[in-house]
Structure 1
């Protein structure tokens, strides 16, 4: 009877953006659930380091990694090349991102608008196109994309990012119809303590973390393993498609 709850056992999970942060936590959670994991990132050194860490933490599991740079105009061909190496998959998790393109209205340019959407919007759409040929057919398979709380709660200077983040809601719902019966869902995290914030000096970073603690109802800063649970849930629930799961410390309430 217990086997019906072990829905990731022996499944193949591909995590694009899986070398750090939330993506790496999803990789760990998937391995802990009995899945076979493949991770992808734009850096060979990060892929190698992450795979080594996963193998050390889960020595009896299977994990692998491949490079795929999503920032280039050749992104569709690069995704095709990735799947040629990876082969058939049961679930795809997309957590890849780049530096957040926060910019004030007077500083917005055509080039900045296009650059901001390359990894966070264009690449996921092309991923869905290519992945449809490699996913096992049926509702037991899924694609889970990632947006952010700014898609629901505006912040100054985030107009460019918010436009793409909100667009992922519509993309997810439409892909759920276009790719059916494969399921497509979306996770919307709030502030999470990941390497994305390492570009700030330590003093500024601590100030940001403290401001989050003081503001959000949970009174704590989310860790990658917290948000990873949302992705694991959406992979397991064969009844969930075209939906968004929020994991934002209650930030939309304040």
Structure 2
């Protein structure tokens, strides 16, 4: 008579999670939730000093945390080789179980008359090219099987167009498409994406002043069914879900305050 294995209440204990873009915003929130779930975390960003300060802060918050960090600049033409080096460093002691891609640069929001070839290519370097390469290069360093996964990040503009967002909408939709196709190309490793709506992070600081940002937050809070703008730690739960559920692949999970309903 066969017996079922003990029920695994915490599927992230001891798992090794690498987060590209893990020093701020949603990526940092994913790092915190992962550490709280007793996972081992490696964070990466382009700034060694930010990695160092983030590790110090996380170690203070999670004294028993297993956390390391390695710099990787995703904005350069050598991104493929640089990612290879990053994954080699990250797997010195163990393979990776989950790759989370939340890296981003300032949003390219332009009137259609100002769009040029160079601006299109520059806008996609991190959010699309580096995202795809993180999956293709990183897949070779993942533990085999459907318990491992890659999670990319898109945004609701791929479903709900907005004036001036044509370049961003193209790349956000592209991320959804490659996530679904990579789920077949990399099987049985799972590939999914999270589609956040408006989230209260420092991303907007590069685009507008504090007063304008607060006005935008108030405007959308009144429109959205939740009645407020999402916090990074709320959206981060979607990434934890996709890591834990070994039965989901090729899906786009929205955490958008119900924005698509209105």
177 and 155 in structure 1: CA distance in 2 versus 1, 3 angstrom threshold: same
Secondary structure at 1:60 match in 2: coil
Q: Which residue of 2 aligns with 1:153?
A: 160
The within-5 A match list for 1:131-150 is 131-150=138-157
Per-residue deviation, residues 4-23 of structure 1 (Å, max 9, x unmatched): 12100000000000000000
Q: Which residue of 2 aligns with 1:218?
A: 226
Distance 2:29 2:136 in 1: 26
- The answer as to 2:248 corresponding to 1:240 is yes
Q: State which of 22, 25, 31 in structure 1 corresponds to 2:29.
A: 25
Per-residue deviation, residues 20-44 of structure 1 (Å, max 9, x unmatched): 0000000000001110000000111
User: What TM-score, normalized to structure 1?
Assistant: 0.98
Q: RMSD of the alignment, in Å?
A: 1.0
Distance 2:242 2:35 in 1: 16
Secondary structure at 2:230 match in 1: coil
Distance 1:77 1:232 in 2: 29
Per-residue deviation, residues 23-73 of structure 1 (Å, max 9, x unmatched): 000000000111000000011111111111111111112011110000000
Q: CA deviation at 1:2?
A: 7.4
With 128-137 and 186-195 compared, the bigger mean Cα shift is at 128-137
The number of equivalent residue pairs is 254
Distance 2:138 2:191 in 1: 12
The within-5 A match list for 1:3-82 is 4-82=8-86
Give runs of ≥4 in structure 1 deviating > 6 Å: none
Distance 2:242 2:160 in 1: 23
Distance 2:19 2:230 in 1: 20
Q: Which residue of 2 aligns with 1:123?
A: 130
- The answer as to 2:237 corresponding to 1:229 is yes
Q: CA deviation at 1:121?
A: 0.4
- The answer as to 2:183 corresponding to 1:183 is no
Distance 2:72 2:87 in 1: 10
Gaps of 5+ in 1: none
Distance 1:137 1:43 in 2: 30
Q: CA deviation at 1:229?
A: 0.3
Q: CA deviation at 1:202?
A: 1.4
Secondary structure at 1:5 match in 2: coil
2 and 215 in structure 1: CA distance in 2 versus 1, 3 angstrom threshold: farther
Q: State which of 100, 103, 110 in structure 1 corresponds to 2:110.
A: 103
User: What TM-score, normalized to structure 2?
Assistant: 0.95
